[in-house]
Amino acid sequence: MPTPEAHPPAAGSMAVMRPRQMAGWPLRSLCALAIGLFAGVGAATRADDAGGRATAGRTLTVKIGASGPLVHPSISAAFAVAREGDDIHVTRGEYREAVVIRTNRVTLRADKGAVMRGVAADGKAAVVVKADGVTITGLECADIEVPDRNGACVRLEGRDLRLSEVYFHDSEQGVLTGGAPGTVMIEDSTFARLGRGGQAHGIYIGGGRLEIRRSRFLESRDEGHEIKSRALETRITDSIVASLGGVSSRAIDLPNGGVALIERSVIAHGPMATNRDLVSFGVEGNLHPGSALVLRGNLLLLERPGANVLVNAASSAAAPRVEGNVIVGRGQAAAHGRCNRVYGSRAEAGLPPAPVVPERPSTAFLDRHLAVVEGFLRGACR
């Protein structure tokens, strides 16, 4: 008979027993040990899940008219059963539906040609995100309108959203967030022909942190801004923000300031822009602590007839640093800063005629145009 010290551990215990210790145990005791060990592993796994750690997820496929194991006929049906970590794969097709995402850390991954069109959930957006850590990639969205005149492709009510390779267009708004959205990351995406009544915009970020990489914001309509950000930190790099023929307001509006960097991008004010400001900074007051704006290494086009203002900054904000840019148009010459090259027209700068949008400025482009600027080649403004 085993000694009292060699009794099987209680259910849920993870103590390790050597085979010699288990010799002579009755079958019932061995079964109890096995059940206890499995229960302990299950409890540990559930504890990990509750603690917010990433869990391995499934791939749920959405295909119009299809159903089966892990296959759903609609986007909303797939998200209704989604678990944390799942990947929702949306196949090609036009989806006349909207969805509310309530599950943390899921991915909506759309094939090219997968379009959400014309339907808003909760009177807000095609995709209402109430969860944290959601990724949306490859999705096209269009024709979203709501009674409040701010219908968005994505409405973020949770925190931390990543958008990659999306195409949001011809709606009242591309993205709309509340005041505490965490980090919003946008990369390799296009936003076009968005805006409504000067109150809805290409994107409207209500706080947190915004980072935009390698993306395009084009032809905002009905006096909307291409980008409006109240974020504490805004970074726009390697992107194109151009009103072209759109009846837009500002290209970039940072009404409460923040720490902002606009770099290696094309920022263009078109002939039909209704606001003279290309970029505004802190003009609504309530500046975030440490607010500072840097525009560096950009191609800036001021092509609105009449007055053009490169940067309209609040008098209470630190003076913007506008350095090492190529500027076409002579509006607000006093604010051009240091080490910039200013041209009166596209032809003078050797750029293609309007309404063609030039390529993002390469290092070679900047070196060529800024070589004659005092201080540039010796690195004073890099």
- pLDDT, tens digit, for every residue of 75-93? 999 999 999 999 999 999 9
Per DSSP, the three-state class of 64 is: coil
**Class for domain 59-370, per CATH?**
mainly beta
Mean pLDDT, all residues of the chain: 87
Highest mean pLDDT among 33-37, 223-227, 329-333: 223-227
Q: Mind listing the pLDDT tens digit for each residue in 51-68? A: 345 567 999 999 999 988
Cα distance between residue 304 and residue 322, in whole Å: 20
Domain ranges of the chain: 4-50, 59-370
Cα distance between residue 264 and residue 279, in whole Å: 15
| Predicted local distance difference test score (pLDDT) of residue 56 | 76
| Predicted local distance difference test score (pLDDT) of residue 335 | 56
Which residues, 6+ apart, have CB-to-CB distance to 133 below 8 Å?
Answer: 104, 105, 158, 159, 160
Q: Mind listing the pLDDT tens digit for each residue in 164-177? A: 999 999 999 999 99
| Predicted local distance difference test score (pLDDT) of residue 380 | 63
Q: Mind listing the pLDDT tens digit for each residue in 188-213? A: 999 999 999 999 999 999 999 999 99
Residue-by-residue DSSP string for 207-273? SSEEEEES-EEE---TT--SEEE--SEEEEES-EEE-TTS--S-SEEETT--EEEEES-EEEE-TT-
Short-list 246, 271, 248, 297, CA closest to 353 = 271
